[in-house]
Structure 1
Amino acid sequence: MANINVSLQVLPVVEDARIYPVVDKVIEYIQSTGVKYEVGPMETTMEGDLDELMEIVKAVQNICVKEGAERVVSIVKIDYKPEGVTINEKTYKYKK
């Protein structure tokens, strides 16, 4: 299957002071997987195989709980087309 994009916004239900540290753990995990990704101010976009990216989405929920979240609200967006889609094709003209 061709590469797709999955954007993930994670909202762990923790004390305000713990939100960024928990999200940092999530981003560290995404980085460790080796998939192409870009962190934005509201979400992280990943590029790769759909099954692999969905496994990452599942793992992120467990990371949040392990880090003390009582609940995790996640917003997932999938951009798919049969011939594939890249982050670069959508953002190249806006990069400095």
Structure 2
Amino acid sequence: MAEAHLSLKILPVVEEKRLYEMVDKVIELIINSGLKYVVGPSETTIEGDLDTLLELVKKANQVCIENGVPRVVSVITIDYKPDGVTIDEKISKYRS
């Protein structure tokens, strides 16, 4: 069981027409990580061990910089429980 989930909001400092392009690159990175995730309208929540999640945040920032973004603001929220915590236990009752 995953010990944490992390919600990530990436705010690349770019002109508006490039905003979704950069966010899509970060979401692609998350998809390719193999971790369980849920994309929301303002942030993406990813489930895994804490070290892996924090490394993914670092990579998300690097993806933006490598694609010409001069500055990136990342907002993260972490729910950490050594015995395990899942996305499903928090939101399964709200899914139809």
Q: TM-score range by the shorter chain?
A: over 0.9
Question: How far apart are the structure 1 equivalents of 2:83 and 2:46?
Answer: 17
Q: How large is the RMSD of aligned CA atoms in angstroms? A: 1.2
Q: How many pairs were matched up?
A: 96
Question: How far apart are the structure 2 equivalents of 1:37 and 1:67?
Answer: 23
C-alpha displacement of 1:91: 0.3
Matched letter for residue 81 of structure 1: K
Range 22-31 or range 62-71, more displaced: 62-71
Q: Which residue is equivalent to 1:88?
A: 88
Identity of aligned residues (%): 57
Structure 2 unmatched ranges of 5 or more: none
Query: What secondary structure does 1:37 align onto?
Result: strand
TM-score with structure 1 setting the length: 0.95
Q: Is the 8 A contact 2:31 2:37 kept in 1?
A: yes
Matched letter for residue 69 of structure 1: V
Listed one character per residue, the Cα deviations across residues 21-73 of structure 1 (whole Å, up to 9, x for unaligned) are 10000000110010000000010000001011111000000101112211000
Matched letter for residue 5 of structure 1: H
Question: How far apart are the structure 1 equivalents of 2:47 and 2:81?
Answer: 13
Structure 1 unmatched ranges of 5 or more: none
Question: How far apart are the structure 1 equivalents of 2:48 and 2:82?
Answer: 13
C-alpha displacement of 1:7: 0.6
Matched letter for residue 60 of structure 2: V
Question: How far apart are the structure 2 equivalents of 1:94 and 1:2?
Answer: 21
Q: Give 4+ residue runs of structure 1 displaced > 2 Å after superposition.
A: none
